[in-house]
Every structure is written in structure tokens, then in C-alpha cells.
A and B are shown apart, each in its own frame.
Chain A
Amino acid sequence: MKYVIKKILGLIITLLIVSMLTFFAFELIPGDPARSILGTDGTLEQVQALREEMGLNRPLPQRYGEWVFNFLHGDMGNSYYYQKSVQDLIGDRIPITVAMTILSFSMILVLSVAVSIFSVRYANRLFDRIFLIVDQIMMSVPPFFIGIIFTAVFGLTLHWFTPGGYVSYEKDVGGFIGYLILPSLAIALPRAAMAAKLLRSSLLDEMQKDYVRTAYSRGNGPWRVLLHHVLKNGILPVITFLGMTAADIIANSIVVEQVFGIPGVGRMLISSISKRDYPVVEAIIVLIAVVTLVMNILVDALYKKLDKRIEVI
């Protein structure tokens, strides 16, 4: 139990640091939201009046304290630009990015496990050799380039999907998921390649271990040894790797949302930063941090469940 409390405490501290960093950062960024709203013909007095109204002139700590207080009560403040509460604004965008993250996470898991098992089973044979080359290449391709290739190949030539034809989940969930498959794959491929390589080398290490020889001595066939005995031990280092990729998946989703025209949290984040829409940016950053850290904790729990040797640290 102590472990869980320690982890949550760590999460809270990290979140505080994240939100402080963001709040502080926005003080430094040039550009003033009031001017951004009033546009070109806002006179100086109007800008000052608006700043006053938005409370921008109050000291930083007071504003930060107030923001944290509201945030804990679920009120993330109102967007400067859209005159709408941040929750509504982000509310319908979070499921999109979360769905994409989950989709790419599971793709990474499935792809890396399947491919590396085959390559270990037929180690040093043709499949393994090809796998190594393709794998290394896949790791070097940026997700947005994959996105461009997918758009060109599947979108414009094969017309398997309409580029930019995002379908919102309210209208048709099937279409929604369907459209997200390619973007998620674009995010997942490079990560899956890395995970596959890691898993392959850790599986090969495990194959050298004594308990594998004992398993064989009991009459287990190679597949059974691989699936029943080795996989469970081999996957441990990969799980920690996956834990670390959570932040990368979201970072890449920001770029891929751009390529496929998906109104996810990422794009809103980019446009809000350029519009100096602080409350929206704050909320998104903290949410991204929460999702990343929760994922890390899930991964730790999964790791502990699989490998009993690790007592409560």
C-alpha cells in the first residue's frame, strides 16, 4: 500500500512542477492575450481594460494559486479566445487523442510481440535477417513522414480513406475508429520497431538462461518454451520501455493530427499557444502530464504483477 501512496505523491509533485513550469513559461513568452483578442484596431486603453478584466495584471503567485484552486474543483477557467469554458472546449477533444493513444499503444504491443517472437523462433534465418533490416529502417522514419506517405498512397491513389475526412465519434463511431487507424499506425510503427528490437534481444538473452534448458528437459517443444516460459520473462524490459514511450506517443500525435486533420488536443494546443490562450494551454499540458504519468504507473503495476521478484520499493 505504501508503494501506491508513494507513487501518487510523486505524481502530484510532478504535476505541480509541470504546471508551475508552464505558468512561468507563459509569463516570459512575448505577445499579450488581450492584444490577441482585440486584434488590430484595439486601442491601448481597450487593451489595458481587457487585461484588467481578465485579471492579467495581478501578481503571478496569486493567479497561479487561484488557477490551481479552481483546477482542483474541475473549473479550468475560460478560454480567452473562444469565450467558452475550457472543459467544454477540450471536453470533446480529449477522447480523440486518448483513443489515438490507446490505439497506437496496443498496436505497438501487438506488432512488437508478434514480430519478435517469429524472429526469435527462427533466429538467424531469413525472416530474422529481413526483420533486422526492416526494423532498423522503420525506427528511422518520422511519424509525420509516414503520415505523408499514407496520405499519398492510401489517400490519394488507392482511396482507402479520404484524407482530412475526419468523422467525429458523435456521428459514427465506426467511421471515427476507422479513420484513426492509419494515423495511429503512423505513430505506432517507429515505436513498435524499437520495442520489437528490444524484445527480440531480451528474448534471445532469456533463451540462454538455465530455466529454458530445464523446460526443454521436461519435453517442451520450442514454441511452448517460447510462449509459456520465455515471453513472460523477456517482456519485462520492454514494458519499462513502453512506459517511457507514453510521452513520445502524445508528442507524435500532435504532429500526426496535423497531417490527418484530426481535431485532437494536440492541434488545439499548438493553436492556443500561438493565440496566447493561457487557460487552454495550461489545462492541456497538465492533462497530457496526467495521462503520461498515469500510464507510467500502470506500466509499473503491470511490471510488478508479472515479476513477483520486485518487492515493494
Chain B
Amino acid sequence: MKRKVTAILLVLCMASSVVLGGCSNDKNEGGSATDNELSKNPVEGGSIVVGISQDVDGLDPHMAESAGTREVLFNIYEGLVKPDSDGVLQDAVASDHGVSEDAKVYTFTLREGVKFHDGNEVTAEDVKYSIERCADTSNGEPLVSAYSIIESVNVLDENTVEIRLSEPDTEFLFNMTTAIIPKDSARTIDANPIGTGPFAYSSRNEGDSITLKKNEEYWGEKAHLDEVVFKVVADADMLVSYLKGGSLDMVMRLTNAQAAELTEGFRIEEGTMNLVQALYLNNAVEPLNNEKVRRALCYAINPDEIMDMMNDGKGVRIGTHMLPGYKAYYNGELTNYYGQDYEKAKELLKEAGYEDGFDLEITVSAADQPHVDTAQVIREQLKNIGVNVTINPVEWEYWLEEVYGNRNFESTVVGVDAKTLSARSLLERFKSDGGSNFINFSDEEYDEVLSQAIASMDGEGQTKCYMKLQEILTEKAASVYIQDLASLVALRDDFDGYEFYPLYVQDMAKIYRVE
């Protein structure tokens, strides 16, 4: 509700993006501080203050809701496997892992000498406890929805754990990034977080800041910094003055205009936000239920013009509900499937019986300036085909309940992210009866191909299905796909080592101080 609370920064994290885990398994083309050689000579130790737009909603890794929370907790907790900056799953708490022939049994051997922050060794029991906690279906949905197919978690010996699935799933490894926490720590974990990550929890002042300190006995490459303070800056407009003023050292997801202000004393890293921004159309509502009308909108709206206006052209254009970062799955030709062509759009509208246009309401979360501005540019563009748009800015809570929950909207501009690295988590959403299919898209062919993809054993076939699904979304114009927004990170120049992840995380262990 408060414009400030979900300001620009939020455009990427949970509040404005529909949270469904997923991460690309390849570095996004946006490019970042490419090869990560240590520019100046690093100085160990020191402290950094990172600006975040909204306080974490809790410190319990399994209950973490917003992407903003997971972004911070990535530094405290680790799963059996852990994505690296290239998006490739590396072994973490587990030293290695094996998958059975029928992709139904996954076995993990624990790494020697991995300790929790409270000094205790990580045991197989802890792993079993953590996995089962997320798979528990006692009060409806399990904490991690993908775990619904787990049959059992068995401790083979004190450092090997075996997970049996009720049905084959070649991509199940992606879900093994769930945090490992000490046995029976469910009730205390939120107030007293214990994990195995490079940083340990130090203190918290609700709504204002969270402080993490270096984990001296980290099993892997230790962090350089002694302390990291995540400071809540609700008002995006204050970021630049706080950075310049010196009270903040690093801020993520700046707009181009903001970054332009930080001329000297700062290093600007460029990447993308891993969000599918689109004009999502409610397929159940007149006249959007008519495919021709939806296609007409696709012809009228020009993503390139939006990107120019918003971020001086920065950002990556997309043509379907898939992130370019997912190189293996991204269906490149769909990007320019709809070139801007007002005549064709008008023709389609005529065919659909809406020759002199119609009224369209775009509901948008008032706090996300980029989405509000995108809506305004769309309004100017749609004027050319007689569609007059009214923009209805609402509070985030209201958007969550009315648009996403009750699906009572005509169209909305928002960014949808993916929770896990698997393409399925992005595309599964649009199953006709999908719980989170908030645009009411329904197409038998789409459902058919989706179930094929899930069942198929070989990666090759699976990828072909995912490609087909993307085609259907684009051809049927389920929504008007626009871009994966540019994300700029400002880092004070006495720090270095920032690395973009294809996932919604900030790896503070890589950051180091330089003279």
C-alpha cells in the first residue's frame, strides 16, 4: 500500500514477483563482472552495509516467503547441493550424489567435517529431519511443493542418506538446495538461526537491519568480510543519497536513472533481474478471452520502445514465459514473433468484432515504479489501435489478494520469477487447472505436452516439449511478453568481487575489500 515500501527495488524480489522457485542453469547473457579476477589487492576482513527494500519476513529457511528473504538467507544456510554463480549445482553439504536408473532413488554422501554455526557436526539425521520437515503434508501442501512425490528418506549409515520418490523425476536434484538445519530446531530456528553457510546470524532489529558475521569454520572457500549488515531502506528515492552519504555501501536492482547519479566512488555491475515482465491478460474476461484480441495487443505493444523509455534500452527482450538465462530451454526465435504492426492489430480487432477498440484496465502495484511506467507506455501505444487504457494503481496487499488470489482483474503488469533452476517451474504454472494459473490460460494441447514433458525420461525429449510449450504460449498470446528487466548493482569502489547469479540470491562471501 505504501508506495515507498515496494518501491523500485521490489520489482525484482518477492513482493512484486510471483514466487515460484527456479534458476537458470546458465549464466545470463546480460554479462556481469565477467572473469572474476581480483582487481586490486584484497584486504581480508572489514564490514559492508547492504541496502534492501523490505525486511526479511523470517529467518526460518523453509518458511521463507519473499525472494528478498531467500536472497539474504542464501548466506546463512546451504542445502545438500548449491548453485554456483554459473547456475550449475555443486555439491555442498553432500560430498557427492547419485541417481538410480529409474530416476526414483537419489543417494547423497555427507561431506566430512561440515559443521553447523553452533559447532556441531552435520549428521545424516539432521539431513533426514530437514528434508522430512519440508515434505510433511500434515497440514495440506508440503513446504516445498515438489517434495510431494517423496516416498521416504532413509539414513543408510551415519554419512549417507537415500531419498526414494513415488514417481520418476530426472530434475529432482534441483530441489535439493533446501536448507539443512539441525535436528528438531524447527521451533527455535527463526529466533536463533543455525545453518552451515559462509556467514552466521549475529543480530537483528526488526524492520531496520540484520547483521551476519563471518563463519570462521566454513567448509568451503571462506568469506573475505567479517560482517555484513543488511539495512532496510523502504524508500527507493533515498537510496542514492544514502549511498552518496556513506551510510550504504551496496544496493541491488537500481534503475538506470539512479545508477547514472552514482558517477564517482561507485562501481556499477550490470545484469538482469531474472523476471518475466509481461502484460498478463486475464484469459477468462471479455474481450481478452478472444485469441484474436490478445494477438492484436501483442502486435500493438512494442517491448523495445518500453525498454528505451524505462532504462535507456537496457534489459533483455523476451517473447514467451521463459527467462533468457535458461539457455538450454529458452526458445530464441519467439522473441520477435510479434513485430509492432498497428494495421495488423486493427485488422485482428475488426475480425474479432472490436473495430473501434475497447476499454482495458491495467491493475498494477503502485509501489513498483517500473511496472507503473511500463503500463503508462503501453497506454500510449494502445491508443494507436483505439484501445483506451485506464491504469488502476493498487497496494501490493490488494494486488496479492484481488488480482493473484481472486483473479478479479482485466490485465496487469508484473514480473514473475522462478524459484528453482528447472524450466518446469516456469511453465508448469499455466496448466489449465493450475493453482497459480492466475491468467486463467487453458489449452488442452498445452496440458498434453506439459504432462509429456514431466513424464519423459530423456532430457532431449523433455527439452523439445518445453520448447513446444513456449510456442503455444506465444502463438495463443496467453499474455503480451515484454522483457527481463535490467538489474544494476551499485558497489562502493573500496569493495569488489560482486558476482551475478542467475538466481535471486546475493552471495556476500565473494565480496572483498580493496585499498
What residues make up the interface of A, taking CB atoms closer than 8 Å to B? 30-32, 35-41, 43, 45-46, 49, 81-84, 89, 92, 151-152, 155-156, 159, 161-166, 168, 258-259, 261, 263, 267-268, 270-271, 273-276
Contacts and interface: CB of A to CB of B under 8 A. Distances in A.
B125 interface: no
B233 interface: yes
B1 A273 contact: yes
B397 A276 contact: yes
Nearest to B404: A40
Which has the most chain A C-beta neighbours within 10 Å: B20, B245, B395, B396? B245
B19 interface: yes
Which has the most chain B C-beta neighbours within 10 Å: A31, A45, A92? A31
B178 to A, nearest CB: 15
B132 interface: no
Contact of A270 (B2, B190, B208, B241): B2
A13 B145 CA distance: 51
B140 interface: yes
Contacts of B245: 151, 155-156, 159, 161-165
B205 A92 contact: yes
B139 A168 contact: no
A45 B138 CA distance: 13
A162 B205 contact: no
Interface in B1-22: 1-2, 4-5, 14, 18-20
Contacts of A155: 241, 245
Contacts of B66: 39
B19 A162 contact: no
B284 interface: no
Nearest to A170: B205
A34 to B, nearest CB: 10
Identify whether the interface residues of B are mostly helix, strand, loop, or mixed. Answer: loop
Given A35-B401, A92-B205, A165-B246, A267 B234 contact: yes
B234 A271 contact: yes
Contacts, number: 126
Given A41-B145, A274-B2, A163 B207 contact: no
Contacts of A92: 205
Contacts of A156: 241, 244-245
B205 to A, nearest CB: 7
The 6 closest A-B CB pairs, nearest first, are A164-B242, A163-B245, A164-B247, A165-B247, A274-B1, A263-B208
Contact of B401 (A30, A161, A164): A30
Which has the most chain B C-beta neighbours within 10 Å: A89, A92, A159, A164? A164
B140 A38 contact: no
Contacts of A267: 207, 234
B357 interface: no
Contacts of A162: 245-247
B242 A163 contact: yes
B141 interface: yes
A259 B4 CA distance: 11
A159 B4 CA distance: 25
Contact of B242 (A89, A261, A273): A261
Interface string B233-250: 111001001101111100
Interface in B54-79: 55, 57-58, 65-66
